[in-house]
Amino acid sequence: MRLLRLLTGLLLVLAMAALAVPLATHLVPGVLAAVDPPPPVEPPVTPALQIPPTAVAVPDVVAPLPPTAPAPDPAVLTAQLDAALQLAGPGSFAGTVVDSADGAVLYAREARRAQPPASNIKLFTAVAALTFAQPGRTLTTSVLASDTMGGALYLHGGGDVLLGSGASDPGAVVGRAGLGTLAADTAAALPDGSGPYSVHLDDTLFEGATLNPTWATGDIEAGEIAPLHALAVNSAWLEEGRSGGPRSQDAALDAARIFTAALAVAAAERGIEVRPEVERSAAPEDAEPLAAVESAPLEDQVRRMLEISDNYLAEALARTAALDSGRPGSFGGGTEALTAAAARLGVPQEGFLVGDAAGLSVRNAVSPEQLAVLLRGTTTSDEQGLAAVAESLPIAGATGTLATRFTADDAPARAGAGVVRAKTGTLNAVTGLSGHVVTTDGRLLVFSFLALGLEGNTGEARSAADGAAAVLAGCGCR
């Protein structure tokens, strides 16, 4: 019996040991982890190069190019461009292509023929705006008050025609400065329970006529342009947030009314009375600022002007350039500023005539050669402002007025998509395309193609210009 009990006890010990091993294997690590947890393990990180892109990157600058890249042979290039620029309908092209690196003329076809360049004139506007001011310069819209004129608040326009009606948006170009923010800041600067206050519109920064006498009535009626003032919401387009349609015939007064309404609401919260009417009068010399908002930098405004070809913004930038160069903020001062900035870049002056800054004037006369000299200056300059002009041109098939051109539907021009950067321009009888392009060999070329005498075949001429620019993009041409 004793032996049986010993055997039974031994079997129980062995059974318990057999159970203890797996229990210890599963339980002990958990207990130890709870008492002394292991350091956390970082989750695996996918290398950036293995992450699929969510959008097509749009380059802001032209990458460094090999200085030894071969240039096209002028004879080969001429044959290809002459074929591309043929028109079956009325009209003819003048044009030129210049090597950006050394200034060599690679193609010339009536290159000195002066004609209305349409919106290609905006290239001169952009150069003037960033020649006489730094790219980071901003325009101030302010509210002033004077001890000698109690109860009067002066809304002073500083040239910003891209105001927003609501709160300032620091990430935007249009609406960077908001009238709603200006109204709130003005109300905060006034004593509680004070008033009544009246708002006076001071838009005297720009002087002279508000409409250029060489603009066609039809362009004004269509909203291509409108009377120019020193402050406006969204380039005077009546529907904020759009870039087309009818424009205000008094954008400054409309902006002042928006500001006054916002001020009345903000001021009422603190018992301040604001009269609803707006008067037009200049601020007295002793007026001091109560509040102010700042526009987007000029560099950003120039980029927008070139990308969407905004006529109103172009004219405002020209007047700002005039003031920055010491000239009057008038149409005459603006055209003088454009001419002076072009001369600084070595643009030949013979036959060169600037009638406005937008390209709507019938007095404008510019040749492909003059445009090419200007463009080469922007691609070779060490000045940040001039370089910004070259970097701000629309990209073929991607941005601005070139977004729907150089596409799959236009086979001859497809080679230029994403490579050609250029300013467009079209009037009833003319069209133009001027810009720069890097060839397949890595050579940077500047070009200007201007058509004249068109009659109902603008589409054909545009396609021809696009096809010629695409020739340059795909060119070895040797």
CATH no. for residue 437? 3.40.710.10
Q: Residues 6 or more apart from 343 whose CB is under 8 A from it?
A: 349
Q: Are residues 328 and 418 in the same domain?
A: yes
Bridge pairing between strands 92-99 and 444-452: antiparallel
Model confidence at 202: pLDDT above 70? yes
Share of the chain above pLDDT 90, in %: 81
Last residue of a domain, one of 296, 326, 350: 296
Mean of per-residue pLDDT scores for the chain: 90
Which residues, including other chains, have CB under 8 Å from residue 203's CB and lie 6 or more apart? 157, 229, 230, 231, 252, 280
Q: pLDDT per residue over 302-312, tens digit each?
A: 999 999 999 99
Q: What is the pLDDT of residue 16?
A: 53
Tell me, what's the pLDDT at 14? Answer: 52
CA 6, CA 198: separation in Å to the nearest integer? 111
**pLDDT, average across residues 370-385:** 96
pLDDT digits (tens, 9 = 90+) for 429-475: 999 999 999 999 999 999 999 999 999 999 999 999 999 999 999 98
pLDDT of residue 137 exceeding 80: yes
Q: Look up the domain containing 12 and give its range.
A: 1-36
Residue 56 lies in a domain: no
Strands 140-145 and 444-452: unpaired
Q: Are residues 245 and 362 in the same domain?
A: no
> According to the model, what pLDDT value does residue 342 have?
98
Residue 206 shares a structural domain with residue 280: yes
> Quick one: 449 and 401 in the same domain?
yes
Which pLDDT value is given to residue 327? 98
Q: What is the pLDDT of residue 41?
A: 54
In a domain, 437, yes or no: yes
Q: Please indicate, yes or no, if residue 58 is contained in any of the structural domains.
A: no
Q: What is the pLDDT of residues 5-17, one digit of tens each?
A: 544 555 444 555 5
Boundary (domain end) residue, out of 296, 311, 339:
296
308 found inside a domain: yes
* Strand order through the sheet with 152-156: 274-280, 197-202, 152-156, 140-145, 288-294
Please compute the mean of the pLDDT values over residues 157-173 and round it to a whole number.
Answer: 98
**pLDDT tens, position by position, 403-420:** 999 987 777 788 899 999
Instruction: Let me know: does 311 contact 72? Beta carbons within 8 Å.
Output: no
Does residue 478 or residue 460 have the better pLDDT?
460
Residues β-bridged to residue 78: none
Is position 176 within any domain?
Answer: yes
Average pLDDT for 112-140: 98
Q: Are residues 433 and 330 in the same domain?
A: yes
465 and 329: one domain? Answer: yes
Give the residue from 246, 268, 296 where a domain finishes. Answer: 296
The answer on 152 and 105 residing in a single domain is no
Q: What pLDDT band is residue 63 in, cutting at 50, 70 and 90?
A: low
- pLDDT at site 37: 55
Mean pLDDT on 348-355: 97
Task: Identify the pLDDT of residue 150.
Answer: 86
Same domain? 352 vs 307:
yes
Q: What is the pLDDT of residue 48?
A: 54
Query: Does a structural domain hold residue 66?
Result: no
Looking at residue 13, its pLDDT comes to: 45
pTM: 0.86
What gap in Å lies between CA 298 and CA 314, rounded to an integer?
A: 11
Residues 154 and 194 in one domain: yes
Structure tokens at 85: 């620029």
Phi–psi pair at 113, nearest 5 degrees: -75, 115
Domain-located, residue 53: no
Whether 155 and 291 share a structural domain: yes
Please tell me whether residues 416 and 439 are part of one structural domain: yes
- Domains: count for the chain: 3
Which range among 67-71, 239-243, 353-357, 364-368 shows the weakest confidence by mean pLDDT? 67-71
Higher-confidence position of 49 and 161: 161
For residues 7 and 106, membership in a common domain is answered with no
How far is the C-alpha of 227 from the C-alpha of 212, rounded, in Å? 8
* Residue 61 within a domain: no
